[in-house]
Each structure stands twice: as structure tokens, then as C-alpha cells.
Amino acid sequence: LALEPGASVELPDAALERAVYSVDAPIELDGSPVPPHTLAVLPAGAQPRLRAPAGARVALVGGAPLGHRFIVWNFVSSRRERILQAQDDWEAQRFARVPGETEFIPLPPRRA
């Protein structure tokens, strides 16, 4: 969303979870300052007024809650089977190498 200097808009309660990210300039949410490069999470049900005193490019994100996340070492997923597959792939070194890196860090021991 590109906002001209001084522009303001009310953000509708259009999703269960929502956030605002200003790409390049400070913004205000209901008069509270939000610096650029900051993700401002909006409270459920809120319809804040977004204002861009100097203009801004803003990303609006939102949707249904993602639910529970499984976190194992460097892997995060909403599905346990994907975590297990990622662990297998890491141990078999099927992930692409980071350019310039030669070290392989083994997977920590798996817990039962």
C-alpha cells in the first residue's frame, strides 16, 4: 500500500491475525508511532487508523491463525512428519550447501 504524505486510512478487522510493516518511513497507528522496518501486530478486533505523516510504503498481512508449530533444532513446521523428513534430509546431506562453507554441522541427537 503506497500512502501519500499525511494520508490516513482505517484498517478493517478483516482477518483473525493482522500486522502492518512499513517498508521505508515512520507511520502511526491510532497516534502511536511505529518506526520503519518494524512489524506492528494488531490486536484482534481492532480497527486502528493508520497514518503516514511523511508518506510510506506499507505491507498489510493477515489471515487465519497458523496453529501449533513443531520446532526441532533449525526446523519449524505445523506438521510433525515434515520435521522428521527434514531431519532425515539433513542427516543425508540433501540440503544445498551454503556457498563458501565447507563445514557440516551434524544434527543434534534425536529425542524419543
All structural domains of the chain, each given as residue ranges with its CATH number in brackets, are 2-63 (2.60.120.10), 67-112 (no CATH)
**Burial of 70 by CB count in 10 Å (0-12 exposed, 13-18 middle, 19+ buried)?**
middle
Please give the average per-residue pLDDT across 5-21, as a whole number.
97
With 0-12 CB in 10 A as exposed, 13-18 as middle and 19+ as buried, what is 2? exposed
pLDDT at 112: 60
Query: What is the pTM assigned to this prediction?
Result: 0.67
Mean pLDDT for all residues in the chain: 95
pLDDT in tens, 32-54: 999 999 999 999 999 999 999 99
